[in-house]
Structures are given as C-alpha cells and as structure tokens.
C-alpha cells in the first residue's frame, strides 16, 4: 500500500501509513500550506475506491457550485448491470443542496452516501448500454464539467470475445497510418479504441 498527498502548489509528499489491525490503516501527514490538497491511496499501484480524496486546509471562502468537484471512473465510463462509482467534494462550496440526475437509454438506479466530511459517494447501475448524462447541481446550478457524458458498455466479460488480427508488432513508421482488424465475435456494445 502507498499513500501520498499533493499540495495546492503541486508538491508531492509521501504519507505515513500505520497498520492498525485486520486490514485497517491510518494515513498520516502534516499539511504545509493552505488550500485544497489531494490524498492518493493505492494498493498494488491501483487507487482504492474513492481515491484520490480532496480536503481543504484553512478557511473556506467564496462558496457556490463553482467550488464543487466530482471525480471518478463513473463519470467517464461504466458497465451495464454493474455498480459504477464517483465522488463529489462539496466542502469548499459552503451550505446548499446537492442534486444528482442520470438520464439515458434506461432509468439508472442511484445510491448516494454522505461521508460527513465534505464529500459524498455516488454509485449507480444502468440496465442498458448507451450514452448517459450525469448532471450534478449545487443550489440548482451545474457544477464544473456537468453534465458529464458517460458511456455505459457491456460488461468486460463480452470484451474477452474480441480478437485482433493483422497488427504488426514492429516496423511502423512515424506519421504513417497503422491498421489492424478487430473481430467482435458476437460481442455486444460500443467499440472504443485509443492510442
């Protein structure tokens, strides 16, 4: 397990990890500047659920929807009939109401839990694949980047059906097209490829 804190100025510092008992840990560090800090906690080089975590050192000033942040894979992509998650950080925003709506090809089942520390977690399950819009509002005003366009695809189990042919491992040239074939072999869902 590893943990580090990123200060508002971008400085990275390792955190102290204390093994409490039976898979429980305490993460300790001393903030050295005011503002929003981010703590990343990883197990086997993968972020644990909810990581990275944001918190504020110092007084909160000038709240509002523009101070709310939302992060997590559930705001980018997800799987059909699986729990997709993201986090919302409201501590900087001051007092107000939070509203979450998910619209798309089918009604999503949404679950919300307040962590009582200025952040909350949201999980949702979509019964059909497609593009969904996740709207997050604070005091009836969209937060930055809301609404989020989220592609919900078939479970990765279907992705195992895909095969690639004609992909050369070497011999490619700069600024020249590289091509290969993807056989879906009956897999359902939207195909997305990135380099």
Q: Could you tell me if 165 and 159 are in contact, meaning their C-beta atoms sit under 8 angstroms apart?
A: no
What does the alpha-carbon distance between residue 156 and residue 5 come to, in Å, rounded to a whole number?
32
Residue, of 156 and 79, whose pLDDT is higher:
79
Mean pLDDT over 54-70 rounds to 81
What does the alpha-carbon distance between residue 100 and residue 135 come to, in Å, rounded to a whole number?
6
Phi, psi of 74 (to 5 degrees): -65, -10
Domains of the chain (ranges; CATH) run 2-57 (2.60.40.10), 65-153 (2.60.40.10), 159-195 (no CATH)
Beta-bridged to residue 34, according to DSSP, are none
If phi over 0 gives left and psi between -120 and 50 gives alpha, with beta otherwise, what is residue 58?
A: left
**Position 40 confidence tier, pLDDT thresholds 50, 70, 90:** very high
Query: Does the pLDDT of residue 44 top 70, yes or no?
Result: yes
DSSP 8-state code for residue 62: S
Residue 70 CB neighbours (<10 A)? 21
125 closest CA partner among 142, 143, 106 = 106
Residue 93's SS3 state is helix
The confidence score (pLDDT) of residue 23 equals: 80
Angle subtended at Cα 1 by Cα 125 and Cα 44, rounded to the nearest 5 degrees: 60
DSSP 8-state code for residue 96: -
Sign of the alpha-carbon torsion through 43, 44, 47, 52: positive
pLDDT digits over 10-19, tens only?
Answer: 999 999 999 8
78 closest CA partner among 189, 194, 195 = 189
The confidence score (pLDDT) of residue 59 equals: 66
What does the alpha-carbon distance between residue 163 and residue 144 come to, in Å, rounded to a whole number?
39
pLDDT digits over 74-95, tens only?
Answer: 999 899 999 999 999 998 888 8
Tell me the whole-structure pTM to 2 decimals.
0.56
pLDDT digits over 93-139, tens only?
Answer: 888 889 999 999 999 999 999 988 888 999 999 999 999 999 999 99
What does the alpha-carbon distance between residue 41 and residue 83 come to, in Å, rounded to a whole number?
21
β-pair type (141-142, 130-138):
antiparallel
Residue, of 183 and 155, whose pLDDT is higher:
183
The confidence score (pLDDT) of residue 156 equals: 62
pLDDT digits over 169-193, tens only?
Answer: 666 778 888 877 888 888 777 777 7
Q: Could you tell me if 125 and 108 are in contact, meaning their C-beta atoms sit under 8 angstroms apart?
A: yes
């Amino acid at each position: 397990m590893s943990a580090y804190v990123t200060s508002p100025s971008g400085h990275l510092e390792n955190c102290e990890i204390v093994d409490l008992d039976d898979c429980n840990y305490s993460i300790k560090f001393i903030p050295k500047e005011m503002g929003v800090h981010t703590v990343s906690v990883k197990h086997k080089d993968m972020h644990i659920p909810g990581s990275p975590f944001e918190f504020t050192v110092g007084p909160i000033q000038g709240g509002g929807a523009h101070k709310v942040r939302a992060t997590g894979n559930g705001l980018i992509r997800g799987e059909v009939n699986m729990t997709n998650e993201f986090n919302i950080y409201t501590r900087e925003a001051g007092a107000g109401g939070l509203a979450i709506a998910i619209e798309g090809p089918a009604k999503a089942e949404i679950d919300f839990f307040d962590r009582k520390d200025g952040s909350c977690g949201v999980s949702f399950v979509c019964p059909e694949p497609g593009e969904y819009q996740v709207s997050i509002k604070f005091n009836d005003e969209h937060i930055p980047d809301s609404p989020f366009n989220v592609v919900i695809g078939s479970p990765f189990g279907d992705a195992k059906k895909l095969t690639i042919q004609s992909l050369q491992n070497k011999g490619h040239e700069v600024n020249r097209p590289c091509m290969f074939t993807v056989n879906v072999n009956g897999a359902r869902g939207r195909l997305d490829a990135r380099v």
